[in-house]
Amino acid sequence: MNTGNGEFSYAKNSTLQEIVIRKAIPILEHTIKSMASLNRDIVFGKCFNIADLGCSSGTNTLLVASIIIDIVHEVCKENNHNAPQFQVYLNDLYGNDFNGIFKLLPDFHAKLTREKGGNFGPCFISAVPGSFYGRLFPDQTLHLIHSSYSVHWLSQVPEGLDDNKSNIYIARTSPQNVLEAYRKQFYSDFTKFLKLRSMELVSGGRMVLIFHGRSIVDPCSSESCRLLGILAQSLVNLLKEGLVQESDINSFNIPCYTPCEDEVRDAINIEGSFSLATMNVFESNWDPYDIDYTNMNDLKEHSRIRAKNAARVLRAIMEPLLTSHFGNSIIDPLFNKYEKHLAEHIANNKKTRYFNVLISLTKK
C-alpha cells in the first residue's frame, strides 16, 4: 500500500475498505455473542486477545479494534460482567506504515477513556510485522482473528505464467494452465493460512474474514477480472508509446486471486481445522463514494468522477507493486490512461461492483 498521508496514500484513499469493514459489524456481533454463550471463559476472562491480519495503515486499522472492543464491552454489560483487558495485535508486512498507526494511539486511548471510563480495560496494542502465510503468534493465544481485504492476496506470484502474454492477471485470453496455476496457489495459501491460524487460536476461537471473490465459477468473469484487465490495457497503451518494455509487461503478474464460494468452502473442508459458521456475500461499488446500490445503471455524466475515485483506490493499493517492477516514471501516465479507460467502461456498461465474501469460522 502507499504509505504516508499524501494525495494517493492508502490512508487518504481507503473509504472502500471502511465500507467493507462496517458491513461486517453484524457478523462480528453474532460471532462474539456466540463465543460468550458457548464458552464464557473466552469473552469473560481476564484478557481478550485480538489479531487484525493485514491491518495496513490509517484510521481503518484502529476502527477494527474499536468495533470489536465496543461489541465485547456491550456483551459484558448484557451479562453483568466487567469488561476484560484487551490485547490487540496489528499485523502486516514489514514495509507497512506502523509508525503512522502508532501516532494515532494517544487519541485512540483517550477516546476509550472518554467513552467507557477510566476503569475500562486497559487496552494494549502491539505491532506484529510479518507474512500471515507464516507463524505469527504462540500456540493457543488468540481468541478472535479478523482480516479484511487481505486474504485474496497470495504469498507469491504463481509459477508457470510465462504464457500469460499482455495480461497481468487472469483474463479471457489467458491459457488454461494460467487459470490452474492461480487456483492451485490459492488453495495452497488459503489452506496453509487456516492451518497456521488454528495453531494460534484457543479451542473455540473464532475468525472473521472478508475478501474479494466472484459470484460464478468462471474465473474469467468480468466482475473479477475487468478492473485489472483495464489496468493491463493501460500498460499496453504505454508500450505503444515506448514508455514500457513488452518484456516487462509479460513478466508482470499480480499475486491475488478472487475465489468463488465453492472454492472457499472446499478449502475449509480440505484443511479441516475450522467449521464454517456463516458465509455472506455482498457487493460494493468500484467508486466508494457512489452509495446508490438500487440502480444498476449509471448516468454517463457521472462516469468521469466515478472513474477518478475508483482509480485512486486502485492506485493506493497497486502503486508500490507497479513501481518495483516498472519504475516510478510510468505511474502518473499509467493512471491517467487507466482513469480514461475506466470512464469509458463505466459510461458504456452496467454499474461496476466488487463481489465480496464474508465468512465466520470456528476452530474445532
pLDDT tens-digit map of 207-235: 999 999 999 999 998 878 899 999 999 99
- Whole-angstrom CA distances from 247 to 38, 156, 234, 239, 268 are 56, 20, 15, 10, 38
In the predicted model, what is the mean pLDDT of residues 322-340? 96
Per-residue cell: 263: 472454492
Look at residues 194, 57, 206, 48 and name the one whose alpha carbon lies nearest to residue 127.
57
For the chain, give the mean pLDDT. Answer: 93
Residue 299 in this model has a pLDDT that exceeds 80: no
pLDDT of residue 252: 96
Instruction: List, as one string, the DSSP characters of 166-191.
Output: T-SS--TTS-HHHHHHHHHHHHHHHH
* pLDDT score of 25 more than 70: yes
Question: Do 169 and 132 meet the contact criterion of CB atoms below 8 Å apart?
Answer: no
Strand ranges of the sheet holding 47-53, from the earlier edge strand across to the other edge: 123-129, 85-92, 47-53, 142-148, 201-213, 353-363, 274-285
The band of 173, judged by pLDDT with boundaries at 50, 70 and 90, is very high
- In the predicted model, is pLDDT for residue 71 greater than 80? yes
pLDDT of amino acid 40: 79
Cα separation, 144 vs 36, whole angstroms: 12
Asked whether residue 351 carries a pLDDT value surpassing 90, the answer given is: no
The answer to whether the pTM exceeds 0.75 is: yes
DSSP three-state, residue 353 = strand
Burial zone of 243 (CB within 10 Å; 0-12 exposed, 13-18 middle, 19+ buried): middle
- Residues 92-137 have pLDDT tens digits of 999 999 998 999 999 999 999 998 887 787 999 999 999 999 999 9
The cell numbers describing 223, all together, are: 466482475
Measured from the Cβ of residue 6, the count of other Cβ atoms closer than 10 Å reads 12
* Tens-place pLDDT, residues 126-141: 999 999 999 999 999 9
Residue 29's beta-bridge partner residues? none
